[in-house]
Chains A and B, each alone.
Chain A
Amino acid sequence: MRAKPHRNHPLWYAYVVHRISGLSLAAFIPLHLYVLGLALERRGELDQLLVWTEIPVVKAAEFGLVFLLAVHLFGGLRLMALEMFQWRDNQKTFAAAAASAAFLLASLFLLRSF
C-alpha cells in the first residue's frame, strides 16, 4: 500500500497512524467499558472473559491495542507541542520517536504478559 506521490512523506503517514489509531480506540473503548461494567452484576462472566487473555491470539491483539493507545498518546502530544510551543524543525524525528516509544511500551507489555 503506497500513498499518492503528493502524500508520500513521513508526516502524512504520521497523520494516518494518528487517525486510524483514534478510530480504532473509539471502537474499542466503549466495548472495554461495557465489559468492565459487567463486573457490577456478573463477576463470574468477567472472569470468563479474562480467561481469554491467556490465548496467544488475544495477547497479540492486546499488544496491538496497547500500541494503538500509546501511539495515539505520543502522536497527540507531538501535535499539541507543535501547536502550543515555538516551532521546531525536527518534526519527522518527533514523529519517529513517538512511534518508537509506542512500540517499545507495547513490546514491554507483551513480554510481561507471558
Chain B
Amino acid sequence: MGDRSNSIRVKVSRGDDRGRHFDEFDVPALESQTVLDVVTWIQRNADPSLSYRFACRVGMCGSCAMTVNGKPRWTCRTHVSKVLQGDTLTIEPLRNLPVVKDLATDMSEFFDKWTSAESRFVPTKTREDAIEIVQPATKERIEADAAIECINCGVCYASCDAVELNPDYLGPAALNRAWTLQNDVRDGGKNSRLRAVTGEGGCQNCHSQQGCVQHCPNTLNPTRSIAGLKRLATRAVFKREL
C-alpha cells in the first residue's frame, strides 16, 4: 500500500482485555499530520471497525489520549513527525485502564476516583450573597491557578506506577483537582475533602516519580499539587485532626 518513503507503518492494538493483538497499516504521510489524523485515516480508509475516541481535535476535551510508541499522549496535538521512530508508529490504548475495544478505554474508574476525592466545588454562598472577589495575587490562588487547566485526559493516570500497582490509589488527576479546591477561598468542603484524599488510596501513596509531570500535555505538575496535599495532611496529623 503506497510508496514506503511517503507512508507510515502503523501498528495498532486491537481487541480488548480478553485478547489483544496488533494490526499493521500503511498510512500516507502528510505534512503537519497528527497521530489522531493517522487513526482517523485508518478507520475511514482501511478498517471501519477500528474503535477509538475523540471529540474536539484541538486539545480541549481530553478524550483522545492513547499510548503512542509507549508513551501516553493526547493524539490530536501530537505531530507524527515528533514521535515517529524510523517510519513506524505503535498506537495502543491508555495504560492502567480497562480496554473497551481497540483504542478506547473505559474511564469509569478514573472519574469515579475524582468523585471519591471529593474533587467538586462545595458552594458556601446563596444567590442572595454578593459575588466573592478572588484576589489573583494571593498564595492560595497562585497555587490553584498553577493546577487548574486539567482536561481529564487520563495521561497522568496512565503514566503512574502508583496507580498501576495500587488499585485504591486515587491518582494524579483527582488529587491535583482536590488541591485546587483546597486553595479555593470560596469552597466549603475542605475538611471533608482532606479526609477523602488521605484515606486508603490517598495522596500518601504517591512516590514522587513525576511521570505525571513528564507526560501531562498541559504541562501541569500533579506531583507539586500532591506534595501540597501531603503538607496539609502532615499539619492535620500534628494537630490531631486526622
Contacts and interface: CB of A to CB of B under 8 A. Distances in A.
A83 B69 contact: no
A3 to B, nearest CB: 10
Interface in A83-100: 83-84, 87, 91
Contacts of B161: 7, 12, 15
B55 to A, nearest CB: 24
A11 B221 contact: no
Contact of A6 (B71, B221, B227): B71
B209 A6 contact: no
B237 to A, nearest CB: 13
A39 interface: no
Task: Name the prevailing secondary structure of the A interface residues.
Answer: helix
Nearest to B155: A6
B231 interface: yes
Q: Size class of A's contact patch?
A: 10 to 19
A25 to B, nearest CB: 17
B99 to A, nearest CB: 17
Interface of B: 67, 69-72, 95, 158-159, 161, 207-211, 214-215, 221, 223-224, 227, 230-231, 234
Interface of A: 4-7, 9, 11-12, 15, 79, 82-84, 87, 91
Nearest 9 CB-CB pairings of A with B? A5-B70, A87-B224, A15-B209, A11-B210, A83-B227, A9-B214, A83-B230, A6-B71, A5-B71
